[in-house]
Structure 1
Amino acid sequence: MASEEVVLLDCWASMFGMRVRIALAKKGVHYECIEQNLAHKSPLLLEMNPIHKKVPVLIHNNKPICDDAYQRAQARFWADFIDKKVYDAAWKIWRTKGEEQEGAKKDLIENLKVLENELGDKTYFGGETFGFLDVALVTYYSWFYTLEKLGNLSIEAECPKLIAWAKRCLQIESVSKSLPDSKKVLDFVLGLKQRMGI
């Protein structure tokens, strides 16, 4: 795609795509619409929306959203991913047993690996500065010990870069003073399980 080009990956019947088309028309933005076959998703769609693999996707300057808010929107996207995917898997690990728990463990590790990949070799998710996305995820770190004990897994063995990132975050006073002791979280969850008859 050429610089300054606006592209919309869409499916004509998508009500969500219609919203984007209305907004673009109202703003007078010229764009190329690339119709998507949702039964056979294009490589471009999978590249631009690798997590949800859904339309619509608005691409500006080869990025899946407008440049000005790109970093903030990316952070919000990943925070939402954490609060849905990571939370749901973590919740199921301590609330279920057997096959359902095994599935939750697999989901948790897969989701954490996605986040570890997003972190890459950066110090923090935003680069060299501790920011919004780091705050969104580091709060889960105090629960990792509980998930490991109750789920019989090792997050550090599966996601060592993520654990190294969490330990860097703990060197920040505001983080270390705000997170509860991991063993206290385990005691809390064991008490919850007992009260709930799990």
Structure 2
Amino acid sequence: MSGVKLLGINGSPASRRVEWALKIKGVEYEFIEEDLQNKSQLLLESNPVYKKIPVLLHNGKPIAESLVIIEYIDEVFEGPCILPKDPYDRAIARFWAKFLDEKCLPAVWKALWSQGEEQEEDKKEAYEVLKVLDNELKDKKFFGGDGIGFVDIAANFVGFWIGIVEEATGVVLVTSEKFPNFCAWRNKYLNCDQVKENMPSREMLLGYFKSRVQAVANGPK
């Protein structure tokens, strides 16, 4: 064992990002499944600021926040580069990863779970951020060019999870008519062996989100 532990959740996009980076580098690690309803003392001590997963422990030292962890892994461990080597390209990759986390994911998630008139407004916001991604992917196979890189790993929610949540909720955000470049990227992404190896069971996630939909439907009227 290399002295690497990952505190996370099997079905979490953020946890899966980190596992993907560790596998690219060929790093052996121990995965410790957390229960967010009963957080372990190790998690609370390792990430006292946010108290959330994922947290990487390397020789006992904690690193939190998935994108920060991936950069740490890329710098510390031998193996294929995850971020581009060129400083400008690295900065651009960081920009798009930040956009995915801070603008895209919240807008899409909100649109998928809101209802009624509120949902129509939320969909408009989601469409705006998805259009930005669609434009960025014009004439590109992946965000980083011909191969999967840092931004594609960061985009695992919109690449994999979003379709599952759409199926569970019955809310359709992404169509090839609206976002042809994004859909072309997603099709390549989902058919990539690297992606298939680093995502949780689709059936497991679909069952989980369907149960959430049912819980909302059976909630207070």
Amino acid at match of 2:191: Q
Of 199, 204, 207, which aligns to 1:187? 207
Deviation at residue 154 of structure 1 after TM alignment? 4.0
| Larger gyration radius, structure 1 or structure 2 | 1
The SS at the match of 1:175 is helix
What 5-or-longer segments of structure 2 have no aligned partner? 1-85
Q: Does 1:167 align with 2:184?
A: no
Contact 1:105-1:151 within 8 A present in 2 as well: no
Q: In 2, Cα distance between the equivalents of 1:167 and 1:154?
A: 12
Deviation at residue 102 of structure 1 after TM alignment? 1.3
What 5-or-longer segments of structure 1 have no aligned partner? 1-67
Of 81, 94, 104, which aligns to 2:122? 104
Higher fraction of helix: 1
* Structure 1 segment 1-198 matched on structure 2, within 5 A: 69-145=87-163, 146-147=165-166, 149-180=169-200, 182=202, 184-196=204-216, 197=219
The normalised TM-score by structure 2 is 0.52
Q: In 2, Cα distance between the equivalents of 1:152 and 1:171?
A: 21
The SS at the match of 1:155 is coil
Counterpart of 1:29 in structure 2 is none
Deviation at residue 192 of structure 1 after TM alignment? 1.9
Deviation at residue 157 of structure 1 after TM alignment? 2.6
Contact 1:101-1:151 within 8 A present in 2 as well: no
Q: In 1, Cα distance between the equivalents of 2:137 and 2:205?
A: 26
Q: In 1, Cα distance between the equivalents of 2:102 and 2:196?
A: 24
Deviation at residue 159 of structure 1 after TM alignment? 0.9
Q: 1:182 to 1:155 in 2, by over 3 A?
A: farther
Q: State the identity as a percent.
A: 39
Q: In 2, Cα distance between the equivalents of 1:183 and 1:161?
A: 27
Q: In 2, Cα distance between the equivalents of 1:85 and 1:155?
A: 20
Give RMSD over aligned pairs: 2.4
Deviation at residue 181 of structure 1 after TM alignment? 5.1
Amino acid at match of 1:84: E
Q: In 1, Cα distance between the equivalents of 2:203 and 2:119?
A: 21
Deviation at residue 139 of structure 1 after TM alignment? 3.3
Q: In 1, Cα distance between the equivalents of 2:172 and 2:158?
A: 17
The normalised TM-score by structure 1 is 0.57
Deviation at residue 179 of structure 1 after TM alignment? 2.5
Aligned length: 131
Deviation at residue 175 of structure 1 after TM alignment? 0.4
Q: In 1, Cα distance between the equivalents of 2:183 and 2:172?
A: 17
Q: In 1, Cα distance between the equivalents of 2:177 and 2:204?
A: 23
Contact 2:105-2:157 within 8 A present in 1 as well: no
Contact 2:93-2:150 within 8 A present in 1 as well: yes
